[in-house]
Chains A and B, each alone.
Chain A
C-alpha cells in the first residue's frame, strides 16, 4: 500500500510539473526519461518479474509504431484508433512469439535468441514491403490538433505519455501484489517447483509477455506520434531492444521503481557526456555498455539494490542468500 501511495503521489507531482517548467528543452528531457521508463517497465514485466530475458523487444515496439503510422499515412485512420490498434497488434506479435517459444519450454539463451531473430525478421520485412515506406521510411504529415494526437506544446505530449506510463506502473504494482504476480515470480525463481504447486508456467508466462508487448507497443505508438517519422532501423533496430533491457537492469530488475531510476540514471549520464565531450557518435552507447557490465559485475540488483544495501534495507531472505553465496 505504501508503494501505491508513493506511486500515485509521484505521478500526481509529475502531472503538475509542466505548469512550472516552461523550457522546451527541459520538457523534452523529461519526456525522454519518462519514455525510457515506459520502455523499461514493459521489459521489466517479462524480464524482471518473469525472468525471461528478451533481446528483441523492438519487435513489439516497432509493431506498435508502424501500426499507428501506417494506419494514418496509408489509410487515413485516426491515431487514437491507431493507438488501440498498435497496442493490440503488438500483443498479437507477443502472443505469437510467446506461444511458439514457451510451448516448447524454450528459455534462457534460446529465448533471448529467438526474440532477437523475430525483431530481425520484422526489420527485414519492413525494409522490403511498400506500405511501410521500406528503407525510405514513413513521414507522418504534420497537422497539430488533439484529434490527430499531434500537439504544438510539449506539455500535452507529456500528459499523454504520463497517462500511459502511469497505467504501466500501476500494472506492475498490481503484479507485485497479486496472485498472478506471485505465480509469475514463482515461475521465475523455480519453474519446476511452481508447477508442482499447481501453477501453469505456460499460462503465466503468456500473460506476462502479452502485458509486456502491450506496453512496449504503446511506447512505440507514442514514439511515432512524437517524432512523426519511422524507418526500419528505428522501429525494429537493436537500439530499442537494448534500451528496453538496460533501463530496468541498471535501475533494479523486478522492482516497481527500478525502471524509473534506470531511466533517470541513463539519461543523466548521456546528457552529461554530451555536454562534456560533444555529440560524438556512439559515445553514449559506449557508456551504456560500460554501465551494463559494471552493474552486472558489482551490483546485479541494479541501483535499487545498491540504494537498499546502502540504507541497510535488505530483505532478510536476500541477506541470507548473500551470506551463503
Chain B
C-alpha cells in the first residue's frame, strides 16, 4: 500500500481535473436531457474553443481568464447556429440520423483543424502556470485550483438558469413533454437551440479554465469525449448533480489508475466503469428511468 503522501496529491489532482470533466459533461448532459441526442461533436467543439483561447492569448495577448468573457458567448452562438441550421434539419424523425450528423460535424471540425493548424501540440505561457498553492500539505498548481472553483461556480450558475429563469422552465418543460410544451406556446425550435447553445457554451468555459495547465491539438477533444460520455452515463443521462458527481469520481479514478497502473493503462479504469455502468445500470447513479 503506497504512502498517503503519494495518494493524497493524486486524489486532489484528480478532483481538480474531475471538476473540469464535470463541466464538459454538464454541457453534454443538458443537450441529452433536453434533445435526447448524444452530441458526438462535443469533443471537437471543445477543441475549437481551446484553439480560440490559444489564439486569443498568443495573438492578442488576452489572458485565458479574461477570455472567459469572450469564448463562451462565441461558443454559445456557434452551438445555437449549428442546432438551428444543421442538426434539427437532419433528424427526419429518427434519432440515429442526429447521432450521425453530430459525428459528421466532429469529423469535419477536427480535420479542418488538422488542415489549418497541423497536428502540433501547443501550450500557452502564463505568469501563473507554475505557481502552486499548498493544500493539506501537498502542492497543487494554482490554475488547477482556479479551474476547480470556476467549474463549481459555472455549475451553480447553470443550476440557477435551469431552475430559476423562464428559459430554464421552458427547457425543463421541453425535456419532459415536447408536445405539451408546444401547446402552451413555447417556441420549441428556439428553446432546443438555446439548450444546445448553453451546452456548447459550457465547453467555452471549460476551455478557458483548462488551457493554462493543458495543451491543444486537433485531436485533443477525442480524449475528453469518451470521458464526458462516461461521466454522463455514470451520473445518469440528463442529471446535473449526477454529472458533477460523476466528473469528480472519474477524475479521481483516472488519477489513481494512472498512479497504480501507469499512464497508458490507467485510462482503462474509466472505460471499465463506463461499460459496467452501461450494462448493469444504464440509468446511471442518479438517473431516472428514461
Give the B-binding residues of A (Cβ under 8 A): 51, 53, 55, 100-101, 104, 106, 108-110, 112-114, 116-118, 120-121, 124-125, 127-128, 135, 238, 242, 245, 249, 280-283, 285-286, 288-290, 292-293, 296-297, 300, 325
Contacts A124-B271, A293-B90; is A113 near B229 (CB within 8 Å)? yes
Is there an interface contact between A117 and B97, defined as CB atoms closer than 8 Å? no
Contact among B38, B112, B119, B265 for A286, CB-based, below 8 A:
B112
Contact with A along B83-99 (1 / 0, CB 8 A): 00010011011111101
Is there an interface contact between A53 and B271, defined as CB atoms closer than 8 Å? no
Contacting residues, chain B, for A292 (C-beta < 8 A):
100-101, 103-104, 107
Is there an interface contact between A282 and B275, defined as CB atoms closer than 8 Å? no
How many A-B residue pairs have C-beta atoms within 8 angstroms? Tell me.
127
Is there an interface contact between A117 and B275, defined as CB atoms closer than 8 Å? yes
**Minimum Cβ distance to chain B for residue A97 (Å):** 9
Contact with A along B251-290 (1 / 0, CB 8 A): 0000000000010110110011011001110100000000
26 CB contacts below 8 A, A to B, read A100-B279, A104-B279, A106-B282, A110-B282, A112-B38, A113-B278, A117-B226, A117-B229, A117-B278, A120-B226, A120-B271, A121-B272, A124-B265, A124-B268, A128-B268, A282-B110, A282-B112, A282-B114, A283-B111, A285-B107, A289-B106, A289-B108, A293-B86, A293-B104, A293-B108, A296-B97
Is there an interface contact between B103 and A55, defined as CB atoms closer than 8 Å? yes
Interface residues of B in 112-165 (CB under 8 A from A): 112-115, 118-119
Contacting residues, chain B, for A238 (C-beta < 8 A):
222
Contacts A53-B99, A104-B279, A249-B100; is A124 near B264 (CB within 8 Å)? yes
B-side interface mostly = helix
**Minimum Cβ distance to chain B for residue A54 (Å):** 11
Contacting residues, chain A, for B105 (C-beta < 8 A):
289, 293
Is there an interface contact between A114 and B278, defined as CB atoms closer than 8 Å? yes
Is there an interface contact between A117 and B118, defined as CB atoms closer than 8 Å? no
Contacting residues, chain A, for B77 (C-beta < 8 A):
none
**Minimum Cβ distance to chain A for residue B93 (Å):** 7
Interface residues of B in 236-261 (CB under 8 A from A): none
Is there an interface contact between B95 and A109, defined as CB atoms closer than 8 Å? yes
Add 20 more A-B contacts to A113-B274, A117-B226, A128-B265 (CB < 8 A).
A51-B96, A104-B282, A108-B95, A110-B278, A113-B229, A117-B278, A120-B271, A124-B268, A125-B265, A135-B264, A280-B115, A282-B218, A283-B115, A285-B110, A292-B107, A293-B86, A296-B92, A296-B100, A297-B86, A325-B93
**Minimum Cβ distance to chain B for residue A259 (Å):** 16
**Minimum Cβ distance to chain A for residue B90 (Å):** 5
Contacting residues, chain A, for B92 (C-beta < 8 A):
296, 300, 325
- The complex places the Cα of A290 from the Cα of B115 at a distance, in Å, of 15
Is there an interface contact between B275 and A118, defined as CB atoms closer than 8 Å? yes
Contacting residues, chain A, for B40 (C-beta < 8 A):
55
- The complex places the Cα of A321 from the Cα of B37 at a distance, in Å, of 24
- The complex places the Cα of A128 from the Cα of B106 at a distance, in Å, of 27
- The complex places the Cα of A109 from the Cα of B278 at a distance, in Å, of 11
Verify if B206 is at the interface (C-beta below 8 Å from A).
no
- The complex places the Cα of A51 from the Cα of B100 at a distance, in Å, of 13
- The complex places the Cα of A311 from the Cα of B92 at a distance, in Å, of 23
Is there an interface contact between B97 and A300, defined as CB atoms closer than 8 Å? yes
Is there an interface contact between A109 and B38, defined as CB atoms closer than 8 Å? yes
**Minimum Cβ distance to chain A for residue B269 (Å):** 10
Contact among A125, A242, A296 for B107, CB-based, below 8 A:
A242
Contacting residues, chain A, for B104 (C-beta < 8 A):
289-290, 292-293, 296
- The complex places the Cα of A221 from the Cα of B233 at a distance, in Å, of 34
In this complex, what residue of A is CB-closest to B118? Answer: A281
Contacts A117-B271, A127-B264, A293-B108; is A53 near B100 (CB within 8 Å)? yes
In this complex, what residue of A is CB-closest to B114? Answer: A282
